[in-house]
Amino acid sequence: MDIALLALEDGSVFEGRSFGARVESSGEVVFNTGITGYQEIFTDPSYAGQIVVLTYPQIGNYGSNPADSEAVRPFIEGLVVREFSPLASNWRSEKEADAFLAEAGIPIISEVDTRKLVRHLRTRGVMRGVIATRNADAAALVEKARSIPSMAGLDLATRVSTRERYEWTEGVEPCSPSERLKPVDEIRYHVVAYDFGIKHNILRRLRYIGARVTVVPASTPAEEVLALNPDGVFLSNGPGDPEPLRYQAEQVRRLLGRKPIFGICLGHQVLGLALGGRTYKLKFGHRGVNHPVLNLLTNRVEITSHNHGFAVDPDSLNAREVELTHMNLNDQTLEGFRHRTLPAFCVQYHPEAAPGPHDSHYLFEDFAKLMDEFKRDR
């Protein structure tokens, strides 16, 4: 059995068994509480720079397949689990999860007491860590963990963004088996999507409302977006600290009022910065698929999927300009807002979530309605 170590910057060391790539890898150690959808987690660009601890004890059981990937490759830096299955038992599987991550150069440490580790991260806060799978020296790994860059102040969005503009031409298939979508009959809108780390299922949901989608790099100037003459602008999810994205926030500020805007996750934070708000780092973030969010407009609770380590400070937003629309019921953090007079709104969570939940799909329809209203008023 190959031994692997996970060393944290506070000196804690966890020993386990090595799977995946036999390499050393570092990043911020975070945890996700979802009980399914591990391949979507592996391939979500928002996890760039992060070693992910999965609290569900059995991972790898159903293998992997191309339809469940949220990007062209995995983006996590490493994986920590209680029990990892090198075999796949599912008719949809095309490759074992072990091989899927090994080919991407991502190490896995299994047989870790993940309950103890997660309790430690909840108490102390997420922290930097290193996974090593060969001839590891615990003390040296702890020092390495202390030397890697902090997530605070780190711009990862431009690192994972597309380098070239492209058109998303796929329909809604292939899609996650958690939802069956009818074919799109008519293309009614043109949406330009800023790629801060965009997920494939977001592109599918935009397509499903009848949008032709042009994906542009994170650093695209507002003037280039306007030159494409879109009906709306989408601000995607992505990794890292939103505070360094001042240039991106300035481009969004130039687009306000000129095109309808819809933001998700990092896009929510960038829109908050564009409106003069501030963001801050959460102690251990929100990562899972069962977070209760109160819709303040309808007084209904939505069960939602989350993946973020930063939040917008609601007190930093101008209440005369911005209306708060969604609030997290676990810790009262801001989960959504809209501009009172301009066509712009956003949420911190993931309404497109695959494999689910699907409580918040209506937000894409809201975006379509906003584009319709904007065209009528013009």
| Residues noted as catalytic | 265, 350, 352
| Closest by Cα among 190, 192, 194, 191 to 162 | 194
**Is 80 exposed, middle or buried, given 0-12, 13-18 or 19+ CB atoms closer than 10 A?**
buried
3-state secondary structure of 263: strand
Structure token digits, residue 252: 């969004």
Neighbours of 119 (CB within 10 A): 12
Neighbours of 331 (CB within 10 A): 11
How many Cα atoms occupy the beta-carbon half-sphere of 360 within 13 Å? 31
Q: What is the DSSP letter of 207?
A: H
How many Cα atoms occupy the beta-carbon half-sphere of 311 within 13 Å? 20
